[in-house]
Chain A
Amino acid sequence: MTTICVLYPDLLGTYGDGGNGLAMLERARRRGLDATLVRAGLNDEVPDADLYLLGGGEDGPQSLAADLLRRSSFASRVRDGAYVVAVCAGLQILGLTFCVEGNEEFEGLGLVDVVTSRGERRSVGELATRVGSQLLVGFENHGGRTTLHGAVEPFGTIVKGRGNDAKNDGYRTKNIWATYAHGPVLAMNPWFCDEVLATVTGQELEPLASVADLLYQERCRVLSS
């Protein structure tokens, strides 16, 4: 069985981030895969899971989430190979440091060699990035500027929007996908959801037709025009 865990939806769930767990579970269920979804609140221990989903949040909740995660088993679980999809604030928390309001610097989890400083202005708007042969579409709303160090690879290159630094968006490591496309990015990008699902379950997945395909095509049309 595959366990998907949404971490701290009460702290990191500003923009409908719960949609990612929902989409993942539903796409697994329709394929007859044995998957379960758990939500771990800020008073819960981080449970054992194959995939953790981290959402976006406001400054205060973000630094609180970082503190809670630092004291938990989360980092060691990820080092042991658990998969993570991290969005927006979640993306920043996994790095070395990040900044919130007033340029106060916070220590991240240090799982990835990236640093997030305060951008000159907020990045708010539709985001489209090129990931290999695919387009990833979504919406960003954040104040961060993320710099990748060492051999850390970006997840996508910017087609529209700003992402990390107006050139690249997020990062991709062996077991982490990170993007500034907040909220229901897995729901809107069926290929991304299926890529994660296939990787986590170790199975090759047949295409799954749904209305999400129509939405994805529409957003691709709108955002790449």
Chain B
Amino acid sequence: MGKSANLRDGVASAAVRAVNRISRMTGRGSGTVVGGRVGMKISPNLVTSLSRGRTVVLVSGTNGKTTTTSMIVAGWGVPVTTNQTGANMPAGHVAALVTSTSSQAALEVDEAWLPETLAKTRPRVVVLLNLSRDQLDRANEVRQMAERWRKALEVHNDPDVVVVANASDPLVVYAAEVAANVLWCDVPTTWLADAVSCPKCTLGISHVGSQWHCSCGFAKPTKITTVLGDELVIDDVTVALDLSIPGDFNRSNAAMALTALHSVGVELNEAVVRINAVQSVVGRFSVRRWNGHVLRLLLAKNPSGFEAMLATLANDSSDVWVAINARIADGRDPSWLYDVPFEKLRGHRVYCFGDRRLDLATRLDYAQVEFVIVEDDAQVPVSKETISLLANYTAFSDWLEKSEP
């Protein structure tokens, strides 16, 4: 790199920081993406120069990116640069990388941006969690994504790049098997609906227990590094996984996070203690702004989670917002709303958002809780107070997306 390129990157980095500072101060943007865009205008390869000299871990997949990335950050035990706001495209990566000079970076990467990010950041580790459809009518696209990942890993077939890949997911295996250096993780993966047809030959894949194979010879890898059952074993070492956060899928995420950390030399038994201690995951409990409202975002997607969240609400008459969807990731059946002790919200006024706001409103009505069905977001009166917004899975994502820090 010549002097002028160095200078240009320096100017670009300064611009990213300045623009993001202004963006945050004026409340106009998230303060992550806009500056990143400006920086990349000035220096198109900014992400490359910002990644140079760092140990970069990329995390991608349809589900669990944010959680797994935060586990890697927590488990590393040293300062780690990360795109905490979930801005997982290049502008978000640039914005994250200019904020710190730490020698470690863990970046969550949108699936579609993985090939470019792989080329530009030259990571030490790439974690490939899973690939599944986001929407039923887009079933074809997920196979294309696997194809793009595979091509990218073929092009950057560098033995110094460790690919930590989910051996239970045929689409991930299809993408990762071309890489020179793969650490396969046999972690429970329940979603197999996208792995019905072989990504290689389109015939049906046979799944027997946790094993799978196709008649064309494509099959679950046998050389496994990490096995997660009742116990977690990485490289023949039993790791005392005991997460504070719930969910079997988070155990799988943690297993892959630990495998990634292991590959960069982090002591497993120390890392797992730090990961076990993680109490909250990016976004959850965060205070966000939206349309002049100040919102505290609370993820609550089942009765026990909801009960715990309701207990955190102030014992006053403040307004509470609740957003409920019943999309696939939420479960299509919102019957569980009747297992949530919404009676505890008596005395509050509850604004009902989300696709299933009428189910929610009916539940609240039977609980004798005052409610407002929000048909138009703009009609909600702005309060000076911070409003607690409880949302289930996809509704939470919607709000995290549309609100700002």
Give A contacts to B, CB under 8 Å: 13, 15-19, 22-23, 26, 125-126, 139, 141, 182-184, 187-188, 210-212, 214-215, 218
B residues less than 8 Å from A141 (CB atoms): 333
B63-71, B84-92, B364-372, B380-388: which lies at the A interface? B364-372
Contact with A along B330-353 (1 / 0, CB 8 A): 001101111100000000000000
B359 in the interface (beta carbon within 8 A) = yes
5 nearest A-B pairs in the assembled complex, by CB-CB distance:
A183-B335, A16-B338, A19-B338, A16-B335, A215-B358
The range of chain B's interface size is: 10 to 19
B192 in the interface (beta carbon within 8 A) = no
Quick one: closest B residue to A24, CB to CB? B366
Beta-carbon contact of A215 and B338 below 8 Å: no
Contact with A along B294-333 (1 / 0, CB 8 A): 0000000000000000000000000000000000000011
A residues less than 8 Å from B368 (CB atoms): 26
Bound together, the chains give a CA A188 to CA B363 distance in angstroms of 9
Beta-carbon contact of A22 and B335 below 8 Å: no
Given the known inter-chain contacts A126-B332, A211-B373, please indicate yes or no for A18 contacting B339, CB distance below 8 A: yes
Given the known inter-chain contacts A22-B338, A141-B333, please indicate yes or no for A212 contacting B367, CB distance below 8 A: no
Q: Which of A18, A210, A214, A218 is in CB contact (< 8 Å) with B338?
A: A18
Q: How many whole Å from B217's CB to the nearest CB in chain A?
A: 30
Quick one: closest B residue to A181, CB to CB? B335
Apart from A18-B338, A19-B335, A184-B337, 10 more pairs, CB < 8 Å: A15-B333, A16-B335, A19-B337, A26-B365, A26-B368, A139-B332, A184-B363, A188-B362, A211-B373, A212-B365
Given the known inter-chain contacts A19-B338, A22-B338, please indicate yes or no for A187 contacting B362, CB distance below 8 A: yes
Bound together, the chains give a CA A211 to CA B335 distance in angstroms of 16
Bound together, the chains give a CA A212 to CA B337 distance in angstroms of 14
Looking at B333, B337, B368, the one whose CB has the most chain A CB atoms below 10 A away is B333
Beta-carbon contact of B333 and A215 below 8 Å: no
Looking at B332, B336, B358, B371, the one whose CB has the most chain A CB atoms below 10 A away is B358
A residues less than 8 Å from B333 (CB atoms): 15, 139, 141, 183
Given the known inter-chain contacts A19-B366, A22-B367, A210-B365, please indicate yes or no for A215 contacting B359, CB distance below 8 A: yes
Q: How many whole Å from A170's CB to the nearest CB in chain B?
A: 17
Beta-carbon contact of B339 and A16 below 8 Å: yes
Bound together, the chains give a CA A16 to CA B368 distance in angstroms of 17
Quick one: closest A residue to B367, CB to CB? A22
Beta-carbon contact of A218 and B365 below 8 Å: no
B73 in the interface (beta carbon within 8 A) = no
Tally of contacts, chain A with chain B, CB under 8 A: 65
Beta-carbon contact of B358 and A214 below 8 Å: yes
B152 in the interface (beta carbon within 8 A) = no
B residues less than 8 Å from A15 (CB atoms): 333, 335-336
Beta-carbon contact of B335 and A182 below 8 Å: yes
Bound together, the chains give a CA A22 to CA B368 distance in angstroms of 11
Q: Which of B332, B366, B371, B373 is in CB contact (< 8 Å) with A187?
A: B366
Q: How many whole Å from B136's CB to the nearest CB in chain A?
A: 13
B residues less than 8 Å from A23 (CB atoms): 366
Given the known inter-chain contacts A211-B373, A214-B358, please indicate yes or no for A16 contacting B337, CB distance below 8 A: yes
Bound together, the chains give a CA A17 to CA B337 distance in angstroms of 10
Bound together, the chains give a CA A166 to CA B93 distance in angstroms of 52
Bound together, the chains give a CA A13 to CA B367 distance in angstroms of 18
Q: Which of B336, B339, B362, B371 is in CB contact (< 8 Å) with A215?
A: B362
Bound together, the chains give a CA A198 to CA B95 distance in angstroms of 64
B residues less than 8 Å from A19 (CB atoms): 335, 337-338, 363, 366
B residues less than 8 Å from A210 (CB atoms): 362, 365
* 5 CB < 8 A contacts A-B: A15-B335, A15-B336, A188-B362, A211-B365, A215-B359
Beta-carbon contact of B366 and A22 below 8 Å: yes
A residues less than 8 Å from B367 (CB atoms): 22
B361 in the interface (beta carbon within 8 A) = yes
A residues less than 8 Å from B359 (CB atoms): 188, 215
Bound together, the chains give a CA A139 to CA B336 distance in angstroms of 11
Bound together, the chains give a CA A198 to CA B359 distance in angstroms of 24
B residues less than 8 Å from A125 (CB atoms): 332
Bound together, the chains give a CA A212 to CA B365 distance in angstroms of 8
Bound together, the chains give a CA A13 to CA B336 distance in angstroms of 10
Beta-carbon contact of A211 and B361 below 8 Å: yes
